[in-house]
């Protein structure tokens, strides 16, 4: 089912694993070159900058190519039926994708990334257009939404399985959630009431699945996908029970009922969930030495803090910021000092340098883009980027 | 770590016995690095603290307690700098490895609180009077000095940003005078000047081997500012018959930077410069086709974009190979 050459994928996996030892200095460069020769990889996968360039240019080609084809065929019968025409364009880009991957051996090169999303998007537009124009018995908008979600789910599942694209895998998981929610609303009388719990249950199941399968040899080609799905399901698991999210979505669904404005039911459950779950993630991440749990937990702690701040004003904002800032700096100072010599398998040192080719200093770029302060006035003081670096360490 | 893989590689004769031993030894006591998490927390702490201080100033600007707030900020500032001076390594023209990530972020905190301090002084006590040029010039000098003295790229970026602000503050009166000569956007020339200045700084730091690793930051700002200034110039003088000269300047600059990127094997600048040049050429082509204004021109335009994008993809792939081979 997977389109890529499986031997090359296995070899790539071996090279990736050995790469960490090379970075740590255990492996000599010559040994690495020997391994590269013994386990060759024939894919064309350039570095991130060339990849972005190819992505952009592929989009340009697809856009103008589509315009040109439409222009040429403007007077013929085909274009008069919009949905069919979009379907045709989608088919063309899908064929282009297969050709690029099969014959040119592109693998995460930017060109294939762009074509996956373009063809997927065109197919979805075509499906919607066709169902609308053919006027099947989708009388209610809800049924149309359900059928669209189902179609998107199957399409993204197919694209994930065939191209092992990690973003597509995440998208597939999200559409599955949307579909489940829509189905619950349409077909269950109590569907609206159990939405948070339904999403939680599904996310937990998906997390368990993707976590337990992450090192299984069966899913060896989908490791990246599983990592993305793990992160995504952890986030949705938490957000489904986040007080603010529950309230906002409840407002959208119910608004004013006969009982008055919407209030979150069971605050006894949702408040502890909002505050405690991020800490549980972080704690488990540390305990199990699981990077995904740890980093997701850290980001969610920030979200939990903002949620809490939204409802309860204990301190004025500036006092809170100064206090949290001081505590964070002090805490990390203590942690760095404490872990100077590794304890219990933890260290504060860098094990291997994460570098992007071309010597790009990511840190300085982040600082430059978040600290645009002028000393001449005070107006510019606001919006200094409270959580500017919040996600800067998540290099999944 | 997958020990079986290493054992297999060893039996195949691909890795030596020492390597296998090292890996097995490491696997017995695996280390889990919290480096990036701690770094992010530090950065978050510094940002929160300085933002909080900023709001503190903003809210208390017209109530009592100026001296107290000033003192508080000054204490944080001097404390940070004291820590950094105590722990610093001696100055060198080469890259100085920082003593640790805590040091880096405390230096950043010191600089941010210094900026707050100076801004507060200026706002409350008008230390520099109405001389906004001076009020931005002094922080800029301090930032550049700190960046070089303590070898901190983040502070350098802040210095460059302040340089742009200073240029804006000083140039405005001059720009107002010259408004009669030039049209719409008075900041094109200063920003072009700034961009070229930064590119020169990048060139010089490499040429004279003075903090060579600062080159990337200078060049990154310089490339983007110069190209954006040139494009703004072109579009503000769109009706002028000689406006295409701006785009010619884009191409010349792109060529120079292209040579430099090839020499330094920088994929980042290579892709950036090629895309800027592509936009310039495409702008010219589209304008020409607009002037013809016929159906054939429309089709030509579509064909141009398809063809040129395919061509550019081939160029990028070839260049990628070429850089790897050098």
Where do we find the tokens 């701006």? Answer: B246
pLDDT band at B280 (very low <50, low <70, confident <90, very high): very high
Q: How far apart are the first and last CA of chain B?
A: 34
Distance from CA of B277 to the nearest CA of A (A): 13
Q: Is B172 on the interface with A (CB under 8 A)?
A: no
Chains A, B: CB pairs < 8 Å: 286
C-alpha–C-alpha distance, residues B83 and B62, integer Å: 33
Q: Which residue of A has its CA nearest to B161?
A: A372
Mutate to test the interface with B, among A373, A380, A382 (most CBs of B within 10 A): A373
**pLDDT higher than 70, residue A393:** no
Q: How do residues B47-94 score in pLDDT, each as one tens digit?
A: 888 888 877 777 776 665 677 778 888 898 999 999 888 888 888 787
C-alpha–C-alpha distance, residues A13 and A45, integer Å: 14
Q: Which residue of A has its CA nearest to B35?
A: A348
Residue A353, pLDDT score: 56
**Tokens describing residue B229:** 């200034």
Give chain A's mean pLDDT. 80
Among B32, B38, B56, the residue with its CB nearest the CB of A289 is: B32
Instruction: Please tell me which residue, A333 or B196, carries the higher pLDDT value.
Output: B196
Whole-Å CA distances, B212 to A91, B98, B224: 51, 16, 20
Max avg pLDDT among A150-164, B95-109, B288-302: A150-164
Complex ipTM above 0.85? no
Radius of gyration of chain B (CA): 26
Q: Is B63 on the interface with A (CB under 8 A)?
A: no
C-alpha angle with apex B300: B295 to B303, nearest 5 degrees? 130
**pLDDT higher than 60, residue A342:** yes
Distance from CA of A245 to the nearest CA of B (A): 24
**pLDDT higher than 60, residue A153:** yes
Q: How do residues A250-273 score in pLDDT, each as one tens digit?
A: 877 776 666 666 777 777 788 888
Please tell me the pTM assigned to this model: 0.82
**Tokens describing residue B2:** 């997958």
Lowest mean pLDDT among A8-17, A380-389, B198-207: A380-389
Residue A310, pLDDT score: 80
Which residues of chain B are within 8 Å of residue A392 when distances are taken between CB atoms?
A: 40, 43
C-alpha–C-alpha distance, residues A200 and A274, integer Å: 13
Residues 23-62 of B with CB under 8 A from A: 23, 26, 29-59, 61
Question: For A221, which DSSP code?
Answer: G
C-alpha–C-alpha distance, residues A42 and A5, integer Å: 9
**pLDDT higher than 70, residue B41:** yes
Give chain B's mean pLDDT. 82
Which residues of chain A are within 8 Å of residue B306 when distances are taken between CB atoms?
A: 61, 64-65, 68
A343 φ/ψ angles, rounded to the nearest 5 degrees = -125, 135
Lowest mean pLDDT among A144-158, B64-78, B117-131: B117-131
pLDDT band at B8 (very low <50, low <70, confident <90, very high): confident
Instruction: Please tell me which residue, B324 or A114, carries the higher pLDDT value.
Output: A114
**pLDDT higher than 70, residue A356:** no
**Tokens describing residue A334:** 């203590």
Mutate to test the interface with B, among A378, A383, A396 (most CBs of B within 10 A): A378
A346 φ/ψ angles, rounded to the nearest 5 degrees = -110, 150
In b/e form, how buried is each residue of B18-40, taking b as 16+ CB within 10 angstroms? ebbebbeebeeeeebbbbbbbbb
Max avg pLDDT among B77-91, B129-143, B184-198: B77-91
**pLDDT higher than 50, residue A186:** yes
C-alpha–C-alpha distance, residues B108 and B80, integer Å: 9
Which residues of chain B are within 8 Å of residue A345 when distances are taken between CB atoms?
A: 29-32
Residue B67, pLDDT score: 77
Residue A168, pLDDT score: 93
Q: Is B127 on the interface with A (CB under 8 A)?
A: no
Q: Give the largest Cα separation in chain A, rounded.
A: 75
Among B46, B216, B299, the residue with its CB nearest the CB of A359 is: B216
pLDDT band at B305 (very low <50, low <70, confident <90, very high): very high
Residues 66-85 of B with CB under 8 A from A: none
Instruction: Please tell me which residue, B187 or B151, carries the higher pLDDT value.
Output: B151
Which residues of chain A are within 8 Å of residue B40 when distances are taken between CB atoms?
A: 298, 389-390, 392-393
In b/e form, how buried is each residue of A294-322, taking b as 16+ CB within 10 angstroms? bbbbbbbbbbbeebbeeeeeeeeebebbb
Q: How far apart are the first and last CA of chain A?
A: 26
Q: How do residues A120-136 score in pLDDT, each as one tens digit?
A: 999 999 998 887 765 55
Instruction: Indicate the pairing of strand A346-347 with strand B32-33.
Output: parallel
- CB atoms inside a 10 Å sphere around CB B244: 16
Residue A92, pLDDT score: 94
Residue A373, pLDDT score: 45
Half-sphere exposure (Cβ direction) of A175: Cα atoms closer than 13 Å: 22
Contact B49 A65 (CB under 8 A): no
Contact A378 B33 (CB under 8 A): no
Residue B40, pLDDT score: 82
Which residues of chain B are within 8 Å of residue A296 when distances are taken between CB atoms?
A: none
Q: How do residues B230-243 score in pLDDT, each as one tens digit?
A: 988 888 888 888 88
**pLDDT higher than 60, residue A27:** yes
Residue A43, pLDDT score: 85
């Amino acid at each position: 089912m997977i389109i890529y050459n499986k031997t090359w994928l296995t070899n790539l996996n071996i090279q990736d694993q050995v790469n960490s030892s090379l970075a740590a200095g255990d492996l000599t460069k010559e040994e690495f070159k020997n391994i590269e020769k013994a386990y060759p990889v024939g894919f064309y996968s350039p570095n991130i900058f060339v990849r972005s360039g190819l992505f952009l240019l592929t989009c340009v080609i697809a856009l103008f190519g589509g315009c040109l084809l439409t222009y040429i065929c403007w007077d013929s019968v085909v274009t008069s039926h919009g949905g069919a025409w979009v379907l045709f364009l989608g088919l063309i880009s899908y064929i282009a994708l297969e050709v690029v991957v099969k014959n040119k051996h592109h693998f995460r090169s930017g060109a294939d990334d762009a074509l996956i999303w373009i063809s997927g998007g065109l197919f979805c537009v075509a499906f919607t257009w066709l169902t609308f124009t053919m006027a099947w018995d989708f009388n209610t908008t809800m049924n149309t939404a359900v059928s669209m979600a189902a179609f998107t789910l199957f399409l993204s599942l197919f694209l994930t399985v065939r191209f092992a694209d990690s973003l597509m895998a995440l998208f597939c998981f999200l559409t599955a959630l949307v579909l489940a929610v829509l189905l619950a609303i349409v077909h269950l009388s109590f569907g609206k009431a159990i939405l948070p719990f339904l999403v939680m249950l599904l996310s937990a199941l998906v997390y368990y699945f993707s976590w337990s399968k992450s090192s299984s040899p069966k899913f060896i080609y989908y490791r990246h996908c599983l990592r993305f799905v793990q992160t995504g399901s952890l986030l949705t698991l938490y957000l489904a029970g986040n007080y603010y999210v529950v309230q906002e979505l409840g407002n959208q669904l119910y608004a004013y009922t006969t009982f008055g404005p919407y209030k979150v039911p069971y605050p006894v459950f949702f408040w502890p969930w909002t505050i405690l779950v991020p800490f549980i993630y972080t704690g488990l991440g540390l305990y199990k030495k699981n990077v995904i749990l740890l980093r997701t937990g850290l980001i969610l702690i920030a979200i939990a803090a903002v949620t809490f701040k939204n409802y309860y004003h204990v301190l004025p904002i500036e006092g809170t910021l100064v206090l949290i800032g001081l505590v964070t700096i002090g805490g990390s100072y203590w942690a760095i000092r404490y872990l100077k010599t590794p304890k219990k398998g933890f260290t504060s040192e860098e094990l291997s340098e994460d570098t992007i080719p071309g010597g790009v200093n990511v840190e300085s770029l982040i600082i430059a883009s978040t600290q645009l302060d002028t000393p001449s006035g005070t107006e510019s003081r606001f919006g200094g980027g409270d959580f500017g670096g919040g996600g800067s360490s998540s290099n999944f | 770590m997958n020990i079986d893989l290493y054992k297999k590689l060893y039996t195949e004769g691909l890795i030596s016995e020492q390597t296998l031993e090292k890996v097995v030894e490491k696997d017995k006591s695996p280390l889990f690095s919290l480096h990036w998490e701690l770094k992010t927390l530090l950065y978050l702490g510094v940002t929160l603290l300085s933002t909080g201080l900023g709001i503190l100033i903003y809210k208390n600007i017209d109530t009592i307690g100026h001296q107290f707030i000033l003192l508080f900020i000054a204490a944080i500032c001097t404390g940070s700098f004291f820590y950094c001076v105590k722990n610093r390594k001696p100055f060198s023209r080469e890259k100085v490895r920082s003593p640790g990530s805590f040091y880096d972020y405390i230096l950043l905190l010191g600089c941010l609180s210094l900026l707050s301090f100076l801004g507060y002084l200026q706002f409350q006590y008008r230390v520099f009077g109405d001389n906004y040029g001076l009020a931005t010039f002094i922080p800029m000098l301090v930032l550049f000095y700190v960046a070089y003295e303590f070898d901190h790229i983040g502070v350098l970026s802040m210095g460059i940003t302040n340089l742009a602000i200073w240029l804006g503050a000083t140039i405005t009166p001059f720009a107002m005078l010259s408004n009669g000569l030039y049209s719409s956007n008075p900041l094109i020339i200063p920003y072009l000047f700034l961009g070229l200045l930064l590119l020169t700084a990048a060139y010089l730091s490499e040429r004279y081997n003075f903090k060579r690793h600062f080159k990337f930051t200078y060049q990154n700002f310089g490339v983007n500012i110069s190209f954006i200034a040139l494009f703004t110039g072109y579009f503000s003088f769109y009706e002028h018959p000689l406006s295409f000269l701006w785009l010619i300047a884009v191409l010349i600059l792109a060529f120079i930077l292209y040579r430099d990127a090839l020499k330094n094997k920088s994929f980042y600048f290579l892709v950036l410069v090629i895309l800027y040049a592509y936009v310039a050429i495409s702008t010219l082509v589209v304008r020409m086709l607009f002037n013809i204004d016929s159906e054939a021109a429309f089709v030509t335009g579509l064909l141009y974009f398809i063809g040129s994008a395919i061509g550019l993809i081939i160029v990028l792939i070839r260049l990628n190979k070429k850089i790897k081979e050098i």
